[in-house]
Structure 1
Amino acid sequence: MYDPSRAGAELAVLRSQRAALADRAMQPWWYDALLGLLLFGFVSSYSLHSTWVTLAAVAVFLLCLRGMVALYRRLTGFWVHGFRQGPTRRAIVVWVVVVLAVLGTGFAAEERWRGAMVVAGAVLGVAVALVSRRWTRIYVAELREGL
């Protein structure tokens, strides 16, 4: 049988749990900075024009990303997929457009000016740090609003 007071109490518990989750969801500032530095190093490796260096950079980048996922899980107790449905989707679309534009420009410029991918890496490193922070803020707001 439906009990409105019990349903209201259960909704209140769910809201408080979502608020507690939102309080834990924001990563420390250095997490975004580290993500940006990792991406900068990986993208910049293309300027050395060495397949071995780029392969090593890919390996380091992927291992460090794996470690960052584990660290985030340890800090917050959960992990949220970045490409999930919801209000965060727009931040990801903006990120993909920026990546494609910067990488395309960087690769084309690298053919003419050695070191162009270092500039592209710097742009993408800063951009990923900003997008990561923005994405998390959107997600936290989503949790608080109960979407």
Structure 2
Amino acid sequence: MESDEAFDRDAARAELAALQSQRAALADRAMQPWWYDALLGLLLFGFVSSYALHDNWVSLAAVVVFLLCLRGLVEVYERRTGFWVDAFRKGPTWRALAVWMAFALGVLLAGFAVDEHWGGAMVVAGAVLGVGVAVISRWWTRIYVAELRGER
């Protein structure tokens, strides 16, 4: 009986080591390149800034371009890493997502309120949100990579 237990423990240790190795390899691939965050920020800037023109057709076109380009970013990430991670997943990354949602809502509400009196407010809001999404995207991914490595 002891030899069976020892064998099972050895097999379990080997499987755990393989799993940890695979998670480390996944973590090595998970961090997106710097230009991914920059492009995400530029896309959001363009989309939000389109509201400064007060033209529904321009805003509709901006939504279409924004969504198509986001899909393209997802495909590039999937091609580079071999996987995609849902930003709304449960876990340590939720804090970064909650910060982003609160920040974005506050900036958008302020932008729309000020835009009634000053036409360039949505361009400023777009710039703030563009920088914000780039920073928070990088933060979110660092949290995810640390989670994969077992650091969080």
TM over 0.5: yes
* Corresponding position: 1:29 with 2:34: yes
What is the Cα deviation at residue 123 of structure 1? 0.2
Gaps of 5+ in 1: none
Structure 2 counterparts to residues 66-81 of structure 1, below 5 A: 66-81=71-86
Paired residue secondary structure (1:78): coil
Q: Please give the alpha-carbon distance, in whole angstroms, between the structure 1 residues aligned to 2:43 and 2:14.
A: 45
Structure 2 counterparts to residues 77-92 of structure 1, below 5 A: 77-92=82-97
State the 4+ residue runs in structure 1 displaced beyond 4 angstroms.
none
RMSD over aligned CA atoms reads 1.0
What TM-score, normalized to structure 1?
0.98
What is the Cα deviation at residue 18 of structure 1? 0.1
Structure 2 counterparts to residues 3-22 of structure 1, below 5 A: 3-22=8-27
Q: Give CA-to-partner distance per residue, 1:39-90, whole Å, 9 cap, x none.
A: 0000000000100000000000000001110110000000000010000000
Gaps of 5+ in 2: none
Looking at CA atoms only, which structure, 1 or 2, has the larger radius of gyration?
Answer: 2
Identity of aligned residues (%): 71
Of 2-11 and 70-79, deviating more is: 2-11
Paired residue secondary structure (2:86): coil
What TM-score, normalized to structure 2?
0.95
Q: Please give the alpha-carbon distance, in whole angstroms, between the structure 1 residues aligned to 2:98 and 2:20.
A: 29
Any conservation in 2 of the 1:39–1:124 contact (CA below 8 Å)? yes
User: What is the aligned residue count?
Assistant: 147
What is the Cα deviation at residue 37 of structure 1? 0.1
Q: Please give the alpha-carbon distance, in whole angstroms, between the structure 2 residues aligned to 1:127 and 1:83.
A: 18
Q: Please give the alpha-carbon distance, in whole angstroms, between the structure 1 residues aligned to 2:117 and 2:80.
A: 44
* Corresponding position: 1:142 with 2:147: yes
What is the Cα deviation at residue 146 of structure 1? 7.2
Any conservation in 2 of the 1:95–1:128 contact (CA below 8 Å)? yes
| The one of 40, 58, 66 aligned to 2:63 | 58
What is the Cα deviation at residue 12 of structure 1? 0.3
